[in-house]
Amino acid sequence: MYFDIWNNDTYLQFMYERLMLMKELLATPGSIYVHLDHRVSPHIKLLMDEVFGPENFRNQIIWRRQIPRGKKASAQFLPFSADHILLYTKGENATWNQPVKINKITIKQAEKKYSKDEKGFFRTSDPGTYSFDSLLTLHREGRLYAPKGSKISIDHRSKVIRTTKGKLAIKYYRKQEGNYVLEENPIDNIWEDIPGLGIVSSQWIGFQTQKPDALLKRIIKASTKEPELALKNGEDIPIVLDCFIGSGTTAKVAQKLGRRWIGCDINKGAIHLTSRELQKIINKQVRKKETKYPAFAIYKVNNYDLQLLRTEAIELAVQHIGIQRTRTDRFFDGTLGKNLVKIIDFNHPLTLLDLQLLQDELKKRPDEDRDITIVCLGKELAVDPWVEEWNKKHPINKIKVIELKTDKKYGSFLIHKPAETKVSIKRKNNKAIIEIQDFISPTIIERLNIDNTLFKVKIPDFRSMIDCVLIDSNYDNNTFHIVYSDVPEKKNDLVAGKYEIKIPKKKIKVAVKIIDMLGEEIMKVIEV
């Protein structure tokens, strides 16, 4: 369900509109990180400068995500081992916590490496651009350093601090933890210490652009206040927004760090995947009493609309039919077998004008001998006679029309049969005895049968179509509160299908929500 759906001009317009919205939503102390690869980073940098202002560009982080050795050996013009992360703020007062890399060394190692006074081990550094007032503060804290045999001299009238011998320096103390000294080294904009998921495969859950937890942890901690500090200052706990939530890494890491979060995605499968992974994390946090946020809500803010979201709808059709995209051809959209493919905008039916444009394009390509497949949602009545006449006169460049509303093979693109289930819920004293007796997802069965032309797929256990089961033991007809969730830990595990849940003694409604492997959900509500 994850594939690249953008050609360049559409993508840039799409990003520009969303960056404008992100600027409006971004709080004054907030920051925005945009993660990109080498192909689009220069273009998006220009958009970011226009939307947020070049003065609010803070840095470009180079994340060396690393790639397996096999891919390095086959790469031409050097392998691409790094991604780009653009960092912008809304102004000068953005929250910033300098990331550091901590290294532990022994006391003996520290004695050889650092100076030491009554406060502990320290290193020294040139004062650089510190102001006179800042240096005074450091002096009161005992952090100004003068060489052995030298004294610190302060001239308040001239606002100068110097030493009687040697150079003035600033002490930077190292923290001590038991028999170890902690070295905190500031991290710069080259991140080489966080391997990508091609190296760390234990976190991989199948999302093409999935990022490792460590990357999001560093970003979130750098640009948000710790929850305890925010509450102490009378501030709200920061909200982390990821408007392309994907596999849910941002939301999962924010949940673990105690931040509030919002995730958005147009891909229903991505929302479902994120929800499932979050449930596992929150269940563990609740058992260990580690979270103030034990629940989350899912909102459907818009139905999928072919008119409003025509680019995405076209790409779903591409996936549905099996078209191979061609990014370098400005007219044709790809190939289907040996045929060239032209997709007609879903906002209008195939017309004679579209066919005339196709004819004009073929005149520009006298050596083109492939046949043409046209994909459309509908067509005008005059189209069929025109195509029939064209095919009679042209031994090559024959035209075939796939009308997604009526085509025998591909017409199911617009036909959706909802999942069906049979659920039994009975009361036994203060318990609800719940049993999922049957479940069928026509969409899953259809997907499985696409490549099986000789026989139909048979599913021996209907539970293999179910991804998870959620139960609300006192449903109020408004908000679904998850009191029990059955989310298999391993890919090959099945849901139990039978449950005993505690319920109030009064008459109540029990709601069971079943979500299939494609993210489609069905809910049964029974009063007991």
Q: How confident is the model at residue 55 (pLDDT cuts 50, 70, 90)?
A: very high
Task: Please give the residue that has the higher pLDDT: either 218 or 300.
Answer: 218
Lowest-pLDDT range of 40-44, 84-88, 305-309, 462-466: 305-309
Q: How confident is the model at residue 415 (pLDDT cuts 50, 70, 90)?
A: low
Lowest-pLDDT range of 266-270, 395-399, 439-443: 266-270
* Separation in Å, CA 271 to CA 7, 46, 259, 317: 24, 30, 19, 21
CA 312 to chain centre: 17
Q: How confident is the model at residue 202 (pLDDT cuts 50, 70, 90)?
A: low
pLDDT at res. 4: 47
Q: Highest mean pLDDT: which of 200-204, 262-266, 431-435?
A: 431-435
Task: Please give the residue that has the higher pLDDT: either 250 or 66.
Answer: 250
User: For 61-87, how does the pLDDT look when each residue is reduced to its tens digit (9 = 90+)?
Assistant: 999 877 655 556 666 788 778 889 999
Place of tokens 């050609």: 7
Q: Highest mean pLDDT: which of 276-285, 357-366, 410-419, 455-464?
A: 357-366
**Has residue 107 got a pLDDT over 60?**
yes
Mean pLDDT computed over 277-296: 88
Task: Please give the residue that has the higher pLDDT: either 453 or 262.
Answer: 262
Lowest-pLDDT range of 12-26, 260-274, 361-375: 260-274
Task: For residues 208 and 266, give the distance between their C-alpha atoms in angstroms, rounded to a whole number.
Answer: 16
Lowest-pLDDT range of 175-179, 511-515, 516-520: 516-520
**Has residue 451 got a pLDDT over 70?**
no
**Has residue 495 got a pLDDT over 50?**
yes
pLDDT at res. 450: 58
Lowest-pLDDT range of 109-113, 142-146, 344-348, 429-433: 344-348
pLDDT at res. 72: 60
Give the mean pLDDT of the chain. 86
**Has residue 226 got a pLDDT over 70?**
yes
Q: How confident is the model at residue 110 (pLDDT cuts 50, 70, 90)?
A: very high
End-to-end CA distance of the chain: 39
Greatest pairwise CA separation for the chain in angstroms: 103
Q: How confident is the model at residue 390 (pLDDT cuts 50, 70, 90)?
A: very high
Mean pLDDT computed over 236-262: 93
DSSP letters for 301-364: -----TTTTHHHHHHHHHHHHTPEE-SS-SS--EEETTEEEEEPPTTS-B-HHHHHHHHHHHHT
CA triplet 451, 343, 414: central angle to 5 degrees?
55
pLDDT at res. 416: 63
Q: How confident is the model at residue 98 (pLDDT cuts 50, 70, 90)?
A: very high
pLDDT at res. 242: 96
Identify the CA nearest to 443 among candidates 410, 422, 463, 418: 418
pLDDT at res. 2: 36
309 burial class (0-12, 13-18, 19+ CB within 10 angstroms)?
Answer: middle
User: Phi/psi of residue 160, each to 5°?
Assistant: -130, 135
Mean pLDDT computed over 342-356: 88
pLDDT at res. 312: 63
Task: For residues 79 and 65, give the distance between their C-alpha atoms in angstroms, rounded to a whole number.
Answer: 12
**Has residue 10 got a pLDDT over 80?**
no
Identify whether the C-beta of residue 468 lies closer than 8 Å to the C-beta of residue 495: yes
Q: How confident is the model at residue 444 (pLDDT cuts 50, 70, 90)?
A: confident
Strand order in the sheet with 466-472: 484-486, 466-472, 509-516, 521-527
Q: How confident is the model at residue 307 (pLDDT cuts 50, 70, 90)?
A: very low
Query: Percentage of the chain with pLDDT > 70?
Result: 89
Q: Which domains does the chain have, with CATH numbers?
A: 1-98+188-198 (3.40.50.150), 100-186 (no CATH), 224-301 (no CATH), 310-413 (no CATH), 420-527 (2.60.40.730)
